[in-house]
A and B are shown apart, each in its own frame.
Chain A
Amino acid sequence: MSIVALAFIVMICLSVRAPAQIFQQLSAQRAGITFRNDIIESDSFNVLADFYAYNGGGVGVGDLNGDGYQDLVFTSTQRGVGTYLSNGDLTFRDVSATCGIRINDESVNTGVLVADLTGDGHLDVYVCRRYLANRLFANDGKGNFTDVSSTSALSIRGFSSQAAVLDYDRDGDLDVYVVNSGEPRRKGYLNSGLCDKLFRNDGGGAFTDVTAASGINDKGYGLSASIGDLNNDGWLDIVVTNDFEERDAIYLNNRNGTFSDSAQRAMANMSWASMGSDIGDVNDDGLMDIMTLDMLPRDDYRRQTQLGGMSIYGPFFDSLQRVHNALHLNRGNGRFSNICYQAGVAATDWSWCVLMGDMDLDGRLDVFVTNGTKRDIGDQDYSYNLFAGAEPMRSDAYTTMPRSTLSNFLFRNTTGLKFADVTMQSGLVDPQVSNGAAMVDLDNDGDLDLVVSNTDTVPSIYINRTIETRGAAARWVGIALRGTAGNAHGIGAQVTLHAGTRTFTREVSASRGFHSTSDARLVFGLGSSATVDSCVVRWPTGVRSVHTVLPHNAYSMIAVPTTAAAWKPDAHPPEYMSKRRRASIPFFHKENAYDDFKRERLLPYRFSKDGPGVAVGDINGDGYADVVLTGAKYQATAAFLQQRDETFVPWSCGIDDVVDAEDVDALLLDVDGDKDLDLIVVTGGNEFSSNDPELEDRLYRNDGKGTFTRVAKGLPGGYHSGSCVVSADYDRDGDLDVFIGGRCVPGQFPQAARSVLYRNDNGVLTDVTDKVAPGLARCGLTSQATWTDVDGDKDLDLVVVGQWMTPRVWRNTKGQFTDVSSSLGFDGQEGWWYSVAAVDIDNDGDNDLVAGNIGLNAKFVPEAGKPIVCYVSDFDENGSLDHIMTHDVQGRRMPTRGRSTILQHMPTLTRKYNTFAQFANADIDDLIAPAVKDTARTLIARTFASTIYMNIDGRFVAQPLPEMAQISPVMAVVPRDLDGDGDQDVIIVGNAKTQDGDVIGYDAGMGLVLRNDKRGLLTPIEPWQSGFSAPHDSRRMAVIPVPGLKDLLIVTVNGRSPRLFDLQEFPMSMKGTR
């Protein structure tokens, strides 16, 4: 047999075994759809004349003629509207010319809303437009439309993108929110867009513009609005996405006809060029999550060649906005965590429409995204060279711009927090310029089909084959609502299905995604759940109904009951750790403005924002624990005395002698054996030079009454930028010895500052590092350390963690330390570690380690065999260190930073990389000659997951913390038996808005309580249950005993006041999430 024939057979076998695709494309021709959205450019209509020229069309879905099948309405950019009625067999008949929906002028059509706006129970069609007024077509119920624009208040001229409907005032009819953008040509830097509009439905198709009184004031370049009940109060809220530098808005319904924008409080970051959006519950916690789209490329080459990044030095930099899709996970405490990177949905290139739907009927909402652009103005080489050299830009310059046809994306929801890109296996690979899209069950078989509007061609129709493939094994429940007279389709209702242990919550929405309206019926995939126990409908007018008999694998009609009980929110569970007491500490951490990247442009993250540290102990001997909080540069470290009424008052005690140092940690301990607590303050920061006197750590001696005196040269180990201080009697002579971790030599990344071990000799601290612990002094860029007995020999060993290093364990053998990390199993565990605590997690009598890492919600994350590697040397020999951080792209180490940033620091590389395209192809071996590279210092990170190291027979076995604990850095870990069941639960906090100039901010963290099941299985308790809610840049934690009352937990926050929490006991019955 010839090799060719053999290969052929192998190919056949492979193709036979290929898994069934979810979607099968139905050609528009077979479906009978001839509609095309051809965008005809001219010198007056193109992306340079109107930057929204290529936003594309939309798809509207609804049963227009009442035959039980969903019909389709398409908008085109320049050629009006196409209307197609379903024949019920996946073919359609074109009624565009006869149905009465006619638009003949040459204005630009954008979004289409299909909803009953006239209150007669029939689906009307509202078309949004640029340049000319929006149009409303009223349906007689048989699919015959009348143009009522001339008499409708909705017929506004607002450069509109899309309209959404919601019954915001609960009067039973549909009010309309119209998203507006602005003038097409935008010069200068002061113009803003037109304000969005809110129209109140006064019945019978009469609308009143109530924008001004409603509190809606969205003047951005709005591209979409999504409706949902975001705070679970039974009133519908509005999410508006705004393009460019105008921020997105979350208009919360104030239940009195007005709205308040809460986006800035609710979100730590959002998409920058926000386009489409959708709302749904991705993790089945009953809380509505938000997804918004942007234009970050997924492919590394396009990431480098496109306008896919944002620099903190960019002219429009906004600390709240980043270039990435956002998946805002609703945390139930009025805040959202953007988990886009960890979820895997951050980058889908030039994206328009996002739809959340359970495509595979496994019970979890999957995510579909459309993308592409007719003219790729993001192409950096194109933009850069448009004018290069000679003549001014010609009016037909657009004709030479490249086109970006891209494959749409399908993400399968695998855990509720993690999505897998299944585009390749889903039958959706078809590079097109795709804009609006709708989810719709075209064949009424129970799975969601997709209709996608494409630019310059016919729409794509994807038939979902889940039911055909899986047959009866695919279990689902379909629900069509019959609401009040003015809202016949129950738009805005929330439906909760209880099925065994699972609960599914969905909301009925008309317009979704971008420019489009999806099927208003709900399809619940049941996954493996056997039966539906009950179905609760929260009607938009505020009543609820419960339904217990629902057939499987069929659509049920649920009508609003005539006598329905009012819906009331569930009684909020008590938030155990919420501070109910009067305790407060009058301290505000004033972080000084310092930009590390100005000194070291290619630094991977800042070192100048480490504090504040905290120390707890009874300073003045009154039996009450007091608190010391460290100050940043220009702020003195301060002490606060605990009063008998739980308050803390500032205590002037002689520790404010230094204000120019960046104090990052403190420790209260009895150094001199006189039974009072002395104080050590560790200085750090990056805003100094090595050996600056501000870097001297300080020892203060307590006079027994709470007044401190600085001990000159009390810590004689030299001037170093430090990270932490921990004490233990390592030599068992009855006094406390001290370890101070070294961080980074300022301005010399990655040179480790000196870590110092001090032996306490009758109150005198002596630097014995090199004598008793060779190698410890330069053990790495440390962040935290702890003393614990790892080997069960009763003396205390030292565990040190830091960045670009493994957790390192120095075993104590009769007062001599050796690094035994390798033999304990830490090889290959290099991470960006920030914290560590020793705790017996699995209740087996030995200490395990909980180590906090940068987390997995990061733009670049190392995977097995694909480390993040940073090469450091003065590659261009101009006297400054160059740091080139790389990530693995198909076996090649590609720079993480963009061409502009790297070339700014290493301009001679311009000689080699004239274009972004050349640079995008360059890996580290191209950038740096191998011989030179081999002399460079190499830093490696192999894991970013926060991890428990289980001590199993003297070796440490890594187990990642739960997914929810990975959404942000873990800067501090406190073990604590919170529920009194005899095991150690874990509290974590942290964020790091301190990253490089392109990717700033790991800020999804809200703090988290992890409950232990006694065997070491940790379950997250969400903030809305625990009451533990610590957003912002949390740094350290400490427990403060309060005599006669429960302890307090203090969380220090960089640049803010510390937060205090009750450490009240949790009930044993409290259930976690996942």
Chain B
Amino acid sequence: MKTLSIILAFLVLVGSSTAQKLTGADIAHQWNRCVIEVIMEDGFGPPVAARIHAYANLAGYQASYMSEPGYTTMVGKLNGFTACPQPQPGTTYDYRVATVAAMQVACSKLLYRISISDSLAAVQFAVLKAEVPADVFDRSKAFGVDVGKTINAYAKADGYPRTQGLPDYEWPRCDSCWIPTPPNFAKPLSPYCGQVRTIVLKSASEFTVPPSIPFSTAKNAPFYKAAMEVIEVSKNLTDEQKEIANFWNDNPVLTNYHGHFVFNSRQISPGGHWMNITNRVLADHQASMVRCFEVYSTVAFALFDGFTACWAEKFRGNLIRPVTYINQHIDKTWEPMLQTPPFPEHASGHSTITAAAAVVLTAHFGDVAFTDSTEVPFGWKPRSFKNFKQAAQEASVSRLYGGIHYRRGCDAGNEHGTMIGDAVVRRVHVRTK
């Protein structure tokens, strides 16, 4: 059903675009919307989703950056990214065609439902073919395909594909250890994602995550109090806090139990949420194609490295989730407002990547107010923010409201994510001086 609606949207585009030109920025935005939608449809977990956003936009950037003066390649600026095809000097290219080709090839190895990305490419190619000379079209497309293949090889080498063939993760058993959580008691999600090569950070552990509160079951201990705070907050939630928790829930696959009837509902992932914010801001600024890919890429790198670094810490520390601790030691019937995602607590992944993305967006656009309507399709009202960092703060504390993190886990994630965002801003310079 959803698939159909996406394809229909493309068809409408074809009808209207004969009159209206397909700009490079259109291409950048349409591909990012497509990737966000297919990720939801495919049900990728948040860390894997961020990886897809990163490599897809890297492909778009590498295929397009020569269309505008003032931009350079990302070769040499990313870990292990040592070469990427260049256009033949002195010949004409249409970089929109190249970009579509690069995105299509990259997505063919990143996504599952590639019939959707293929149809987007087909629709865009049809429009472009009508205005671009055949030889230029073919040459540009071939160049884009080369870029796409290069990105595929680069992505494959990051170690992620091998993590899929690894044995199931054995989580350690101890009093403070994470164990699968109700209601689905699912196995941990993407437990090996912390082992994937970071794209900008020197390593997943480059920045130290502020530590969690020392574990204790003693009633006067800070940890017990932290859990009590989760209960207290959950009991006294204001309507606005509930709204905030739901607005930033971003649990990509939510399992619903109605007796016999168990079904999944899909939402946007945390990374997808920030890619969507990026999309809106870029559109508001009427950014050009290369600018779009520059911002999309760097935000995606922040998300990707944010997840990798956060996951490395989560599975190093293996901290128990509030629902488990509270059910074991305080109240065996307590349930959090949000469904607890299936991985260890410390630190909050959403807090981490949100802070990282907010830093990158602030570097690009400054402190600008914006309204986020990402969650409207999921039934939640738009929310307005003074700036990106305020949004990040709110997303972070929303995990406490939702009952799935201790306040310490939210704060630590926010601090860690800020460091990661700063590193991405510092290291990925693609403008020529």
Interface residues of A (CB under 8 A from B): 47-48, 51-52, 185-190, 221, 243-244, 273, 307, 313, 315, 377-378, 383-393, 595, 597-601, 874, 876, 878-880, 905, 907-908, 910-911, 914
Contacts and interface: CB of A to CB of B under 8 A. Distances in A.
A243 to B, nearest CB: 7
B258 A385 contact: no
B168 A601 contact: yes
B114 A389 contact: no
B343 to A, nearest CB: 16
A608 to B, nearest CB: 13
Contact of A186 (B112, B259, B377): B259
A391 B379 contact: yes
A827 B389 CA distance: 73
Interface string B151-192: 000000000011011111010000000000011111100000
Nearest first, the 8 A-B pairs at minimum CB distance are A387-B265, A880-B165, A598-B168, A51-B259, A383-B263, A389-B2, A910-B112, A599-B167
B208 interface: no
A391 B256 contact: no
Contact of B265 (A386, A878, A880): A386
A358 B254 CA distance: 49
Contacts of B377: 389-391
Given A189-B257, A383-B261, A392 B379 contact: yes
Contacts of A47: 258, 261
12 contacts: A48-B258, A51-B260, A186-B257, A244-B259, A307-B262, A315-B185, A388-B40, A388-B266, A391-B377, A876-B165, A911-B112, A911-B113
Contact of A910 (B37, B42, B261, B264): B42
A717 B166 CA distance: 30
A876 B187 CA distance: 23
Contacts of A385: 1-2
Contacts of B220: none
B236 interface: no
A185 B258 contact: yes
Interface string B92-131: 0000000000000000000111100000000000000000
Contact of A914 (B113, B162, B183): B113
A878 B167 CA distance: 12
Interface string B228-263: 000000000000000000000000001011111111
Contacts of A52: 259
B385 interface: no
B138 interface: no
Interface of B: 1-3, 5, 37, 40-42, 111-114, 161-162, 164-168, 170, 182-187, 254, 256-266, 333, 335, 377-379
Contacts, number: 113
B299 to A, nearest CB: 23
Contacts of A386: 263, 265
B1 to A, nearest CB: 6
B109 to A, nearest CB: 9
Nearest to A392: B379
B186 A387 contact: no
A256 B2 CA distance: 63
A221 B166 CA distance: 40
Nearest to B327: A190
Contacts of B185: 315
B56 to A, nearest CB: 16
Contact of A390 (B2, B164, B259): B2
Dominant secondary structure of chain A at its interface with chain B: loop
Contacts of B183: 188-189, 315
Contacts of B254: 387
A273 B378 contact: no
A190 B323 CA distance: 13
Contacts of A390: 2, 377-378
Residue of B112, B170, B261 with most partner-chain A CB within 10 A:
B261
A397 B184 CA distance: 23
A51 B259 CA distance: 6
A599 B167 CA distance: 4
B264 A383 contact: yes
A190 B263 CA distance: 18
Nearest to A598: B168
A313 B187 contact: yes
A599 B168 CA distance: 6
A392 B376 CA distance: 11
B41 A388 contact: yes
Select the residue from A597, A880, A911 with max chain B CB neighbours within 10 A.
A911
B268 to A, nearest CB: 10
Contact of A387 (B111, B259, B260, B266): B266
Contacts of A874: 165
A389 B1 contact: yes
Contacts of B166: 880
A878 B379 contact: no
B40 A389 contact: yes
Given A389-B1, A390-B377, A878 B168 contact: no
Contacts of A187: 257-258
B161 A878 contact: yes
A1047 to B, nearest CB: 45
Contacts of B258: 47-48, 51, 185-187
Contacts of B2: 385, 388-390
B261 A389 contact: no
A387 B264 contact: yes
A384 B261 contact: no
Given A51-B260, A387-B265, A390-B377, A598 B164 contact: no
Nearest to A385: B1
Nearest to A913: B112
B266 A878 contact: no
A393 B167 contact: no
Contacts of A188: 183, 257, 335
Contacts of A878: 161-162, 164-165
Contact of B260 (A244, A384, A600): A244
Given A48-B258, A186-B259, A315-B184, A384 B264 contact: yes
Contact of A907 (B41, B164, B167, B266): B164
Given A389-B41, A910-B42, A911-B112, A315 B263 contact: no
A190 B183 CA distance: 9
Contacts of A378: 260
A552 B106 CA distance: 81
A1013 B257 CA distance: 58
Contacts of B42: 910
Nearest to B332: A190
A511 B340 CA distance: 45
